[in-house]
Structure 1
Amino acid sequence: MTVETGTPPARRTGRASRAGAVLLTAAAVLAAGAPPGAAADGTAALTPAAVDAFVTGYLDANGVPGAVVAVTEGERVVRVAGYGHDSTGAPMTADSPVPVASMSKSFTAMSVMRLVEEGSVALDAPVVEYLPEFRVADSRGDEITVRQLLDHTSGLSDTTFPEKSGPLPATLEERVAQLGEVEPAAAPGTRYSYHNPNYAVAARLVEVVGGEPFADRLESDVFAPLGMDDSTTVGDLRDAPEVPRGHVLMYGGAVAADEPSWFLDGSSGVVTTADDLAEWLVLHATGHPRSGTGPVSPDTLAAMRAPGEGAAGEADAGLGWNLEGAGAGHGGWLFTYTSQQIVLPESGHGIAVVLNGGLNTGGVEARVVAEGLAELAEGGAPEVGPPVLAIVDGVMALLTLAAAALGAAAVLRAPRWAAARARGPVRRLVLASAPHLLPLALLAGLHPIAEFVFNGRDASWWQLLHVTPTVVVWLVTGSLAGLAAVGARARHAARVRRSR
């Protein structure tokens, strides 16, 4: 395929983020006018120019340095391109290597389904039948089926096994061994809980049943049949030096950063290109590859996107895919990249997007771009919404300045404050100064607060800093300012009390 880069910027997407909806009315003036590529009747044509205008508009409006995109319709590749630049300053292109994060689960699931088609594995058989080393802390582990790994109803959860903040394994075998001390959060098949180690176990099963390393099996099972010659899988991004550093998005800019170490194999480790993703999308959107024989049959592809059977209320969970309406997709986030794929089998469209900016508090992610392109594919006219992250970070910057100013003022006023209050009860002095320690309390509780907000998902402190940098800057500034204020008040109050 031709290596192409994006064209000049246009406007930005209206499906931005859930948080963006709150601010949409106030920012409506930013979205006035018809978006590029719009037809006379208000719909938009799915053309390379329309794709370019939408993607570049979103990147520019949100301060994302670069992206790669693949858009297909039937067997036709509408657009494979790179936009912007990577962390070295080099242009992003259709063959730039990018990590696709949790989109990798779709690839792992397909490798498992190859074994199912071969008759080597049964989806509803216990995992231990094929992987005797798999154990959890109680006998419920013997009931976990292969299907339950793939649709996240195994009962395993971040709440009982913090997979990112705990000790990191070096291999799939080590990851499976770590689960031997883990108490399941629920009985198998009774609750949906998105948990990366489910796919590490699935990948280890592929290794053991297939008789060769997971990366080799993924190559022979999936990449080679589809002609995805520039794709691989790794356990840590440090094992893929060809992938440039991604970025942390903050204060309207992007800071190049190494991806914090965490175990990716099986769940999040695929590295690929826009060119290769186009081949993958054609397979899923049409049921067959552009040439040759696909990795699995059309019936198996459909089964992977069928409503889940494992847990009530989670009919939108397929095998390596999430279901929505007539389509299916799967997103992914690292702390320095995000990704999203969407396939629409009824219309034959496929869309994949990878941004080189990581998870953030403003909802700037590949999902928003992919959903906008899906709207474009369905004849809609997507618009770029308000710059939510810039607004959030602007608020955080003001809060940071206010915290520093309040702390400085409290230090300067400490002598007068002490003179007026120091002769009262100590308890009253403590209560009067306690509000200055609120940022410190919030900083100490940030990790559990973040876990609650992210529905129990685990992250280390270092990883959390990548997601909420401006929040951490505010809380650290407020904590230091508060400690300085309390310290100054205590020092002056002690002097006044000694002088009585």
Structure 2
Amino acid sequence: MTFSFVLTGVLVALLLGWTAPAHASGERLVDDYRSVYGTPGVAAAVIDGSSVETIVRGRDGDGNAVTARTRFRIASMSKSMTATAIMLLVDRGRLSLDDPVVKVLPEFRMADPRFTGITVRQILSHTSGLSISTNNEYVFPPPRGAREIVARLADKTLATAPGTHAEYHNTNYSIAARIVEVVSGKSFDAFLRTELFTPLGMADTASTLGCSDHAEGLTPGYEVILGVAFAAPEMPGFCVGNGGVISTLDDMVRWLRFNQGTLGAGLLSAASLAELHTVQPKAGDHALGWQARPVTEGAPPSVIGHGGTLATWTGDMVFSPKTGVAALVLTNSGGDPGLLSTNLLAERIGAPATPMSNPLTAVNAILLGLTVAMAALLVTAIVRARRWAARRRAARRPRLVLRLLPLALVTVLSVLLPTPIWGEFSFHYWIVTAWLMPMLAIFCLTCAVLGAVAFGRRLWWLRRTGQAASAPAQPAMANG
């Protein structure tokens, strides 16, 4: 009895990996990352052979200590799971990677005849021709469900011919999610749960349709501005298939072990698993739900990974097919977790680490200084509007227009600024800016509101002083 118990424990440890004490260097890397990015909570792991080193730091959105079972949104790391769901159907003979999408998804339509040539492989490798330039993914309110996302493509065109150019585009993976639903006859969440997560023992992993949907046990993520973190709701958006999975460090370790071929070996054929990790034709560094990347800057790609970024959640996972070493990072705020995961892996294999720095620290400091300066100037213009109008009462109209032009430009440009930086003009990008670059949104909002008030006050006082100047003088009353 005792011998069986011990033997079982040894076998489980070999299969899933035993949790080793954290290396001091790994802990230092995580602590340095939190210091640089102000990240409230981090859950990280390094897998090396049969051992798993876990490092947890900080707090969740409710203020509780982060653990290996704290739930995180994993964002675009979800794409590796969507691609695997497709590959499960390929293994079962339900479809082929080189099938045209219209063959397996008859409802798929676009206002571009080239769409009929898009294959399943191309949507998984981001070579479908879909582009942010022709399909704005940041629409509000966002579509609900993969069916609606596919339906909204009916009046869209392709930016390039299918299979000729790679452009990372989330909609590709929402199409893939819809393929899973139609071919399997199950909802996307149900398919992932029953065919992927449950067989792999990922009991705390689930998926949502929207990026901001409520999920049991999931606390809010954080916005971090100039080192100050505050819990915030996630930005609304469509995440089905491309970024909607919620998981834990423990479960994601299982996911990496599956991709390394040491867990769930009978779930997917070895050939299909290898295909998921293979860079595809014309796809740049894209595999199927994964990307090839270097361990150190300037080196050739030697590892496979994928990151995930939402407004209040980020994460990254990476593994070396040759050495079997893997690293995983989950965080509940913005940042660059890919840098941390790569450094954790590099530390373990003896490669040099990349120095960590947060460029947003300087950017936000500059934006704060500009906001304060512009607020001071515009408030001064508001307070002195009457004096300004009195001095220019007799000025000619062309000169007055020139005097008012700077305020008008400040107001208009600050309203427009958040839109073109994301690639095209759309007021939807004001919402995106508010979540992803809050200091820029604060700067623009300050300039727009105070600029409009200052402009309006000057016009109002010009009119008042003009009326006073043109009013006829009242005769003096005689004393009785």
* TM-score (norm. length: structure 1): 0.82
Q: Which of 293, 308, 324 is the equivalent residue of 2:280?
A: 308
- Decide which moves more: 409-418 or 90-99: 409-418
Judged with a 3 Å threshold, the aligned counterparts in structure 2 of structure 1 residues 242 and 81 are, in CA distance, closer, same or farther, namely: same
Counterparts of residues 67-466 of structure 1 (less than 5 Å): 67-77=42-52, 79-236=53-210, 237-284=212-259, 286=260, 288-290=261-263, 292-309=264-281, 311=282, 314-324=283-293, 325-358=301-334, 364-380=335-351, 382=353, 385-452=356-423, 460-466=429-435
Supply the AA of the counterpart residue of 2:131: S
User: Contact between 2:220 and 2:232, CA under 8 Å: does it hold in 1?
Assistant: yes
Distance (Å, rounded) in 1 between the aligned partners of 2:379 and 2:140? 39
Give the secondary-structure state (helix, strand or coil) at the position aligned to 2:97: coil
Give the secondary-structure state (helix, strand or coil) at the position aligned to 2:162: coil
User: Contact between 1:157 and 1:185, CA under 8 Å: does it hold in 2?
Assistant: yes
Distance (Å, rounded) in 2 between the aligned partners of 1:148 and 1:383? 33
Judged with a 3 Å threshold, the aligned counterparts in structure 2 of structure 1 residues 457 and 115 are, in CA distance, closer, same or farther, namely: farther
Distance (Å, rounded) in 2 between the aligned partners of 1:239 and 1:408? 41
* Structure 1 position 173, deviation (Å): 2.1
User: Contact between 1:439 and 1:475, CA under 8 Å: does it hold in 2?
Assistant: no
- Decide which moves more: 167-176 or 400-409: 167-176
Judged with a 3 Å threshold, the aligned counterparts in structure 2 of structure 1 residues 277 and 116 are, in CA distance, closer, same or farther, namely: same
What is the aligned partner in structure 2 of residue 480 from structure 1?
449
Distance (Å, rounded) in 2 between the aligned partners of 1:376 and 1:222? 31
Distance (Å, rounded) in 1 between the aligned partners of 2:355 and 2:426? 29
Distance (Å, rounded) in 2 between the aligned partners of 1:459 and 1:152? 24
Distance (Å, rounded) in 2 between the aligned partners of 1:343 and 1:217? 26
Give the secondary-structure state (helix, strand or coil) at the position aligned to 1:80: strand
User: Contact between 2:415 and 2:444, CA under 8 Å: does it hold in 1?
Assistant: no
* Structure 1 position 72, deviation (Å): 0.7
Supply the AA of the counterpart residue of 1:271: I
Distance (Å, rounded) in 1 between the aligned partners of 2:404 and 2:427? 34
Counterparts of residues 34-53 of structure 1 (less than 5 Å): 48-53=23-28
Cα deviations by residue, 1:44-84 (Å, 9 ceiling, x for unpaired): xx95332222112211332211111122113421x234310
Judged with a 3 Å threshold, the aligned counterparts in structure 2 of structure 1 residues 419 and 190 are, in CA distance, closer, same or farther, namely: same
Judged with a 3 Å threshold, the aligned counterparts in structure 2 of structure 1 residues 458 and 64 are, in CA distance, closer, same or farther, namely: farther
User: Contact between 2:209 and 2:244, CA under 8 Å: does it hold in 1?
Assistant: yes
Distance (Å, rounded) in 1 between the aligned partners of 2:249 and 2:406? 52
Supply the AA of the counterpart residue of 1:476: L
Gaps of 5+ in 2: 1-11, 14-20, 294-300, 471-480
* Structure 1 position 167, deviation (Å): 4.6
Give the secondary-structure state (helix, strand or coil) at the position aligned to 1:351: strand
Cα deviations by residue, 1:251-288 (Å, 9 ceiling, x for unpaired): 3211211112222111111111111111222233x3x1
Supply the AA of the counterpart residue of 1:444: V
Give the secondary-structure state (helix, strand or coil) at the position aligned to 1:225: coil
From the CA coordinates, give the structure whose radius of gyration is larger: 2
Distance (Å, rounded) in 2 between the aligned partners of 1:456 and 1:135? 25
Distance (Å, rounded) in 1 between the aligned partners of 2:357 and 2:164? 40
* Structure 1 position 443, deviation (Å): 2.8
Give the secondary-structure state (helix, strand or coil) at the position aligned to 2:44: strand
Cα deviations by residue, 1:133-182 (Å, 9 ceiling, x for unpaired): 22222332221100011011112222222233155333222222222232
User: Contact between 1:172 and 1:200, CA under 8 Å: does it hold in 2?
Assistant: yes
User: Contact between 1:162 and 1:458, CA under 8 Å: does it hold in 2?
Assistant: no
* Structure 1 position 244, deviation (Å): 0.6
Distance (Å, rounded) in 1 between the aligned partners of 2:310 and 2:445? 24
* Structure 1 position 245, deviation (Å): 0.6
Supply the AA of the counterpart residue of 1:165: V
What is the aligned partner in structure 2 of residue 33 from structure 1?
none
What is the aligned partner in structure 2 of residue 66 from structure 1?
41
User: Contact between 2:419 and 2:427, CA under 8 Å: does it hold in 1?
Assistant: no
Distance (Å, rounded) in 2 between the aligned partners of 1:426 and 1:378? 73
Judged with a 3 Å threshold, the aligned counterparts in structure 2 of structure 1 residues 262 and 412 are, in CA distance, closer, same or farther, namely: closer
User: Contact between 1:342 and 1:350, CA under 8 Å: does it hold in 2?
Assistant: yes
Supply the AA of the counterpart residue of 1:156: L
Gaps of 5+ in 1: 3-45, 359-363
Give the secondary-structure state (helix, strand or coil) at the position aligned to 1:226: coil
Cα deviations by residue, 1:180-216 (Å, 9 ceiling, x for unpaired): 2322222222222222121111111112222322222
Distance (Å, rounded) in 1 between the aligned partners of 2:64 and 2:378? 43
Supply the AA of the counterpart residue of 2:272: T
- Decide which moves more: 370-379 or 385-394: 385-394
Cα deviations by residue, 1:27-53 (Å, 9 ceiling, x for unpaired): xxxxxxxxxxxxxxxxxxx95332222
* Structure 1 position 460, deviation (Å): 4.5
User: Contact between 2:414 and 2:447, CA under 8 Å: does it hold in 1?
Assistant: no
Distance (Å, rounded) in 1 between the aligned partners of 2:446 and 2:90? 55
User: Contact between 2:339 and 2:356, CA under 8 Å: does it hold in 1?
Assistant: no
